[in-house]
Amino acid sequence: MFGRMFKLCILLIVLPLSMSMARAADVVLYSSNNVETVNRVLDGFAKAHPDIKVSVVRAGTGALMQRIKAEANNPLGDIFWSGGLSTISEFRDQLAPYASPQAAAVPAAYRGPDNLWLGTNTHVTVLMANLKQVPQGQLPKGWEDLADPKWKGKIVIPDPERSSASFVAMYGLHKQLGLETLTKIARNAVIVGTTSAAYEGVAKGEFAVAVTMEYAGYEYIAGGMKEIKLIYPAEGTFLSPEGMAIIKNGKNPEPARKLYEYLASKETQTEVFKSAYRRPLRQDIDVSALAALPKLSDVSIVQLDDAAMGAQRAEFIAQWRQIISAR
């Protein structure tokens, strides 16, 4: 009897300890990526780390960063993946430094100061065209072409106030070609509320050309739509790099770092590209060998100052509203 009671006492002592250890192995991921991408990656992580349970909170980058800031005194998340670097940089005080061995594969321009974040992938701004809808079957070669009155009502642009990728594109266009060209293009365009409404509109034949992201347009090409073409503007285009970070004072730093390493790995980022065409920032992944897309080094890129872009966002959006209201 005493032996059984002794064993039961030992079990009652060990059980809470083991449950506590199990909880300590959990990690909370804040992510703005779509459900399919998150689930696919976490399925792989579960196989590699069956002892770690990942809980996911999904929302837009801005909303999640505001949440991380609001939770600063009692962080409920452990890691964020992934959002625009310009947005992430505004919340650097809420991030914890982590020197990942994977960082060496990513250009220094996409690594945060003191290792506060690491670039994972980048969106490339493209013109997505539907050959059945372009005037006289002639594709535009660049931004300047879209200023021609013949494109009136045939261009679709997501509202840059609601779409971060469109904001980068319109801000970049303003910086590169000036207010006059931006105004002509905007006045030719139909402005829609979401990024998806733009590329879906071109795919359905509702518009001839969309200002959108490379991966979104390429999904239709990979799916067999031969009438869809991607155009990298002759004057140069813009990048919207994204990254991830460890949340400062998160309750589960060790499993968070393991998830961080998994997300940063060449294998994971290759799989994300194969399934979702999100172009990785790692220099050791050649996307041109995996899909009918150019190497990033072969695309003319106009470099933008992320800090200046963030600081000038409100001013630019106010100017954009004036352009649209005067149409």
pLDDT digits (tens, 9 = 90+) for 286-304: 999 999 999 999 999 999 9
Residue 9 pLDDT more than 70? no
Q: For the residues 5-22, what does the mean pLDDT come to?
A: 38
pLDDT, residue 191, reads: 97
Summarize pLDDT for 70-106 with one digit per residue, the tens. Answer: 999 999 999 999 988 888 988 999 999 999 999 999 9
| Global pTM exceeds 0.75 | yes
The CATH label, of 3.40.50.720, 1.10.1040.10, 3.40.190.10, 3.30.1490.20, for the domain at 25-122+242-293 is 3.40.190.10
pLDDT at position 87 is 83
**Span 306-325, mean pLDDT?**
90
Distances (CA, A) of 113 to 17, 91, 116, 133, 257: 38, 13, 6, 46, 18
Which pLDDT band holds residue 25 (cuts at 50, 70, 90)? low
More confident residue, 10 or 99: 99
Q: Are 92 and 116 in contact (CB under 8 A)?
A: yes
pLDDT of residue 137: 83
Q: In this predicted structure, what is the pLDDT of residue 41?
A: 96
Give the amino acid at 27.
V
- Lowest mean pLDDT segment, chosen from 5-19, 67-81, 215-229: 5-19
CA-to-CA distance for 15 and 184, rounded, in angstroms?
69
Burial 160-170 (b: 16+ CB within 10 A, else e): bbebbbbbbbb
Q: In terms of C-beta density within 10 A (0-12 exposed, 13-18 middle, 19 or more buried), how is residue 23 classed?
A: exposed
58-69 pLDDT, tens digit per residue, is: 988 888 999 999
Q: What percent of the chain has pLDDT over 70?
A: 92
Binding residues for Fe cation: 215
CA distance 267 to 107: 18
Tokens representing 53 are 């349970």
What are the binding residues? 215
Cis ω on the peptide bond leading into residue 82 (within 30° of 0)? yes
Structure confidence at residue 305 (pLDDT) = 87
Domain ranges of the chain: 25-122+242-293, 123-238+300-326
- Mean pLDDT over each residue of the chain, to the nearest integer: 90
Tell me the three-class secondary structure of the chain, residue by residue: CHHHHHHHHHHHHHHHHHHHHHHHCCEEEEECCCHHHHHHHHHHHHHHCCCCCEEEEECCHHHHHHHHHHCCCCCCCCEEEEEEHHHHHCCHHHEECCCCHHHHHCCHHHECHHHCCEEEEEEEEEEEEECCCCHHHCCCCCCHHHHCHHHCCCEEEECCCCCHHHHHHHHHHHHHHCHHHHHHHHHHEEEECCHHHHHHHHHCCCCCEEEEEHHHHHHHHHCCCCCEEEECCCCCECEEEEEEEEECCCCCHHHHHHHHHHHHCHHHHHHHHHHHCCEECCCCCCHHHCCCCCCHHHCCECCCCHHHHHHCHHHHHHHHHHHHHCC
pLDDT above 50: residue 6? no
With b for 16 or more beta-carbon neighbours within 10 A and e for fewer, the 93-132 pattern comes to: ebbbebebebbebbeeebbbeebbbbbbbbbbbbbbbbee
Cβ atoms of 90 and 241 closer than 8 Å: no
Q: Which fold has domain 123-238+300-326?
A: D-Maltodextrin-Binding Protein; domain 2 (3.40.190)
Tell me: pLDDT of 120 over 80: yes
